[in-house]
Amino acid sequence: MTVPANEAAEAIAHVEAIAHERLAADAPEVVVRIENLSKSFDGRLVLDNVHLEVHKSNIVAIIGQSGSGKTTLMRCVNLLEIPERADMEVAGEKIFSGDQLLCKDLAKLRQTVGMVFQRFNLFPHLTAVENIMLAQLRAGVPEEEAMERAVGLLRRVRLAHRGMAYPDNMSGGEQQRVAIARALALQPSVLLFDEPTSALDPESTGEVLRVMRELARDGMTMVLVTHEVPFARDVADWVVFVDGGHIVEEGEPAEVLRRPSHKRTQAFLANFQASH
């Protein structure tokens, strides 16, 4: 039996197309891709040719000493810090290439990337609900919808009863949970956390970590700079240890945190265990 050549070619193309689709579906979707990232402050190199990938629904924990460059690394993702050199892609959009800023619309990038700060940085002149509504209204979400979403998010962080409170009248843990709700309001593809619990007492820390665990369970993609080594061990899918502007070690938490291979990581974790 002979098959016309053109039909055979079509069939092969079809099979290939299916296989390709499969492959694309199996390959993890990369939400943040950072390559060759370098950054210096006043001539001091704080990030030296760093590479990092964050896959969808993964939680990447960045650990390291103060001044290691870990916070700067994270702040480059939403361009709060502008890199000197980098090839970066966020949610499928190229935002930086070489020494060129490609991102035309910073506002749109920052709606895609939510951020939670160490010191909460809620707007003190606005109530919890208004804090969560502000960016939505700015982005053109109608008032009614923005408010419903804000109330829904408050329920998600278990603070619906505090909706009309001002930040100054809330505990640190409550403020940080409102800050998480605020960062979620524009339905970002990835959330950045900059040491979200280091300004909190143990009880508040517990409340905030609980909310973060739930987000992780719901499949939120997260990058977090943290001192909470036990939390990183429990929740993170990938741990990155930064030292002197380099990623000196990265891998699954079980590997990096239990059997660190690099001397600097061993020293950092030994110090951490000694002090906790």
Partner 1 sequence: MFDVPWSDYAPALWKGLQLTVLYTVLGFAGAAVFGLLLALLRLSKSRILRVPAALYTEIFKNIPLLAIIFIIYFGLASVGIKLGAIAAGSLSLILFYAAYLSETFRAAIAGVHAGQQEAAEALGLGRISTFQLVIFPQALRLALPGTNTFLVDLLKSTSLLVTISAAELMSVGRLITSATFRALEVYLVIAAIYFCLCYPLSQGLLWLERKVRAGIPLTPRRRRRFKRAAVLLEQEGVLV
Interacting residues toward partner 1 by CB under 8 A = 78, 80, 106-111, 114-115, 117, 119, 121-125, 127, 129-130, 134-135, 138-139, 143-144, 147-148, 150-151, 154-155, 160-161, 163-164, 166, 182-183, 186
Beta carbon nearer to partner 1, 180 or 257: 180
Query: Judging by DSSP bridges, how do beta strands 190-194 and 222-225 pair with one another?
Result: parallel
Q: Residue 166 burial (CB < 10 Å; 0-12/13-18/19+)?
A: middle
In 3D space, the residue among 92, 88, 95, 87 whose CA is nearest the CA of residue 30 turns out to be 92
Beta carbon nearer to partner 1, 153 or 257: 153
How far is 188 from 4, CA to CA, in rounded Å? 51
Beta carbon nearer to partner 1, 125 or 263: 125
Q: Which two tokens stand for residue 117?
A: 């700060």
How far is 227 from 173, CA to CA, in rounded Å? 17
Inter-residue contact 86 to 52 (CB < 8 Å): no
Inter-residue contact 192 to 77 (CB < 8 Å): yes
How far is 78 from 90, CA to CA, in rounded Å? 9
Closest separation in Å from C-beta 96 to partner 1: 17
Beta carbon nearer to partner 1, 108 or 262: 108
Closest separation in Å from C-beta 141 to partner 1: 12
How far is 22 from 118, CA to CA, in rounded Å? 41
Closest separation in Å from C-beta 174 to partner 1: 15
Beta carbon nearer to partner 1, 35 or 81: 81
Closest separation in Å from C-beta 83 to partner 1: 16
Closest separation in Å from C-beta 18 to partner 1: 39
Task: Report how far apart, in Å, the C-alpha atoms of 55 and of each of 8, 32, 92, 217 are.
Answer: 37, 7, 12, 15
Closest separation in Å from C-beta 125 to partner 1: 5
Beta carbon nearer to partner 1, 61 or 79: 79
